[in-house]
């Protein structure tokens, strides 16, 4: 008993350490179990440090894009993965109730009738008798085995709920990223069509110059080749746009093409992330992340499973009672004088099991160690993902600002080159080079905008995704 009490105290200390991060977020640490989270983010400069609770609630609304918000709402309601995770929650809840019911007595009843017949004097005579009984049984939970199993089922249920929240956070981020890529591709297509119009004008001008004898056929051929090259890129972008719309339909649990009309009705703008996101402190993230909380509940379940396995080494007390009524005539079966009661008390315990219980305890201990390491890995992953997202937000923003300046300069250069070519001051190669440079920089700008938005989406998800 003393050894068992010491083990329970040790496991209680581990549980307290885990939930000091997961639920309470206190700064104390347990020697040998891990260390407290950092006080601040390494790359958090420029972000306000406040409680991120209100900032993460429905974070996608902060992009101020009603179409994206609508898609995420539909996805959270109709995605098959969400429905599957919800079903697992219902299953775990039922398992928890089943385990809790093991702590209560059970009561059953039976009613039996018996009859025979014999022939006497040419007539059939019948004799009937019966028995009615109420059977009750209860396993007295001396050493807490059933209580620990119920605690494990409750922790498993809580972990399943956190898994649902984690699936919701991931799905919202996936839909937001797919929607952003769709709008980026649509903007690329818009830019490319502008380039095609510009190159068509250049090709016509080159053709006129050839007809006027001011240029040879090489110049006209180069202009035509550049034009067709731009046109050839249009089907690729249109294919990508169609596939991204289908991807959004799949994520939202709809058939392909379900959102084509709504998405194509107007040229959507690219979502813009909010600049005033409050990131909180690392302890906030550990407390908010559903995957971290899920790992913490799994540790709690593993501790309870280990304690239940240890309790199997000790005897169990079983009480069984029967309240029965016997009668030779069914019509007299419920008379009080026919009632009899029995009470059976039984104590059972393992004597020889060839090491089965010991092996199970060892396996449960290894499972607890694995759960602890999984929890530690989830904490480290959470901290790393936030730092990575903060770095990406900062550096992609810097790159975006530089490319915006580059695009402005490239547009001016392309316009000047076109004007000088029309005036006969420069050759066609200069114009085509300027146009290619502009197209390349504009494409890089759009790619950078996509990376910048993706960085903020990843940051929202890394900070907890809105479910706490």
Confidence of residue 215 (pLDDT cuts 50, 70, 90): low
| Residue 202 pLDDT exceeds 50 | yes
Classify residue 302: in a domain, yes or no: yes
Q: Which residue among 294, 324, 348 closes a domain?
A: 348
Same domain, 283 and 210: yes
Same domain, 39 and 8: yes
Same domain, 294 and 416: yes
Same domain, 134 and 69: no
Classify residue 72: in a domain, yes or no: yes
Same domain, 196 and 172: yes
Same domain, 212 and 303: yes
Same domain, 26 and 117: no
Q: Which residue among 330, 348, 366 closes a domain?
A: 348
| Residue 4 pLDDT exceeds 50 | no
**Looking at per-residue confidence, does 24 or 96 come out higher?**
96
pLDDT value, residue 262: 87
Q: How far apart are CA 165 and CA 60, in angstroms?
A: 16
Classify residue 196: in a domain, yes or no: yes
Q: Is the dihedral of CA 261, 265, 269, 275 positive or negative?
A: negative
Q: How far apart are CA 347 and CA 345, in angstroms?
A: 7
Predicted TM-score (pTM) above 0.85: no
Q: How far apart are CA 418 and CA 384, in angstroms?
A: 49
Same domain, 46 and 94: yes
Confidence of residue 12 (pLDDT cuts 50, 70, 90): very low
Q: Which residue among 348, 369, 390 closes a domain?
A: 348
Q: How far apart are CA 458 and CA 111, in angstroms?
A: 65
Provide mean pLDDT across the span 68-88.
Answer: 93
Classify residue 83: in a domain, yes or no: yes
Q: Tell me how many domains the chain contains.
A: 2
Residue 88 Cα distances to 65, 161, 300, 303, 464, angstroms: 32, 9, 19, 22, 21
Same domain, 213 and 284: yes
Classify residue 468: in a domain, yes or no: no
pLDDT value, residue 100: 79
| Residue 24 pLDDT exceeds 50 | no
| Residue 457 pLDDT exceeds 50 | yes
Chain segment 353-382, per-residue pLDDT in tens: 677 888 989 998 999 999 999 999 999 999
**Whole-number average pLDDT of the chain:** 79
Q: Is 256 exposed, middle or buried (0-12, 13-18, 19+ CB in 10 A)?
A: middle
Task: Supply the CATH number for residue 229's domain.
Answer: 1.20.1600.10
Task: Supply the CATH number for residue 117's domain.
Answer: 2.20.200.10
Provide mean pLDDT across the span 158-167.
Answer: 92
pLDDT value, residue 6: 43
Provide mean pLDDT across the span 429-438.
Answer: 88
Confidence of residue 87 (pLDDT cuts 50, 70, 90): very high
Domain containing residue 111: 105-140+315-348
pLDDT value, residue 30: 31
Cα separation of the two ends of the chain: 40
Classify residue 232: in a domain, yes or no: yes
Classify residue 375: in a domain, yes or no: yes
pLDDT value, residue 49: 73
Q: Report yes or no: 386 and 461 within 8 Å, Cβ to Cβ.
A: no
| Residue 400 pLDDT exceeds 90 | yes
Contacts of 420 (CB under 8 A, 6+ apart): 426, 430
Question: Hey, what are 88's tokens?
Answer: 């697992």
- Degrees to nearest 5, angle at CA 36 with 35 and 38: 120
Same domain, 10 and 29: yes
| Residue 201 pLDDT exceeds 60 | yes
* Segment holding 393, helix H or strand E: helix 356-422
pLDDT value, residue 162: 92
pLDDT value, residue 433: 87
Same domain, 128 and 177: no
Same domain, 275 and 363: yes
Classify residue 467: in a domain, yes or no: no
pLDDT value, residue 82: 92
Confidence of residue 38 (pLDDT cuts 50, 70, 90): confident
Nearest Cα to Cα of residue 185 among 259, 287, 263: 263
């Amino acid at each position: 008993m003393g050894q068992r009490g010491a083990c329970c105290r040790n496991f209680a200390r581990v549980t307290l350490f885990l939930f000091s991060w997961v639920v309470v977020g206190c700064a104390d640490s347990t020697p040998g179990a891990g260390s407290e989270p950092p006080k601040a983010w390494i790359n958090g400069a420029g972000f306000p440090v406040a409680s991120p609770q209100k900032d993460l609630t429905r974070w996608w609304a902060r992009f101020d894009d009603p179409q994206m918000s609508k898609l995420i709402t539909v996805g959270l309601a109709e995605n098959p993965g969400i429905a599957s995770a919800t079903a697992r929650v219902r299953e775990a809840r039922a398992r928890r109730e089943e385990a809790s019911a093991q702590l209560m007595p059970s009561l059953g009843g039976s009613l039996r009738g018996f009859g025979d017949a014999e022939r006497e004097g040419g007539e059939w005579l019948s004799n009937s008798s019966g028995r009615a009984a109420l059977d009750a049984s209860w396993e007295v939970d001396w050493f807490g085995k059933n209580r620990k199993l119920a605690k494990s089922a409750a922790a498993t249920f809580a972990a399943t709920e956190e898994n649902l929240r984690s699936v919701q956070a991931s799905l919202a981020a996936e839909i937001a990223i797919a929607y952003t890529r769709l709008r980026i591709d649509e903007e690329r297509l818009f830019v490319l069509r502008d380039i095609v119009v510009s190159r068509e004008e250049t090709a016509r001008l080159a053709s006129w110059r050839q007809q006027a004898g001011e240029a040879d056929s090489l110049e006209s051929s180069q202009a035509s080749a550049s034009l067709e090259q731009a046109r050839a890129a249009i089907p690729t972008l249109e294919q990508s746009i169609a596939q991204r719309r289908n991807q959004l339909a799949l994520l939202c649990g709809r058939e392909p093409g379900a959102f084509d009309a709504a998405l194509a009705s107007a040229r959507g703008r690219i979502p813009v992330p909010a600049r005033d996101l409050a990131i909180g402190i690392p302890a906030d993230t550990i407390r908010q992340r559903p995957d971290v909380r899920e790992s913490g509940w799994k540790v709690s379940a593993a501790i309870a499973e280990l304690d239940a396995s240890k309790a199997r080494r000790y005897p169990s007390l079983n009480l069984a009672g029967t309240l029965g009524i016997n009668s030779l005539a069914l019509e007299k079966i419920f008379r009080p004088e026919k009632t009899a009661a029995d009470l059976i008390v039984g104590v059972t315990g393992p004597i020889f099991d060839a090491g089965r219980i010991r092996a199970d305890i060892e396996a449960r201990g290894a499972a607890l160690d694995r759960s602890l390491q999984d929890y530690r890995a989830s904490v480290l992953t959470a901290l790393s993902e936030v730092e990575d997202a903060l770095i990406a937000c900062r550096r992609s923003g810097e790159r975006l600002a530089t490319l915006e300046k580059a695009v402005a300069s490239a547009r001016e250069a392309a316009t000047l080159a076109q004007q000088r070519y029309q005036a006969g001051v420069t050759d066609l190669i200069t114009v085509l080079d300027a146009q290619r440079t502009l197209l390349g920089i504009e494409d890089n700008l759009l790619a950078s905008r996509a990376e910048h938005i993706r960085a903020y989406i990843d940051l929202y998800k890394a900070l907890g995704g809105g479910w706490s």
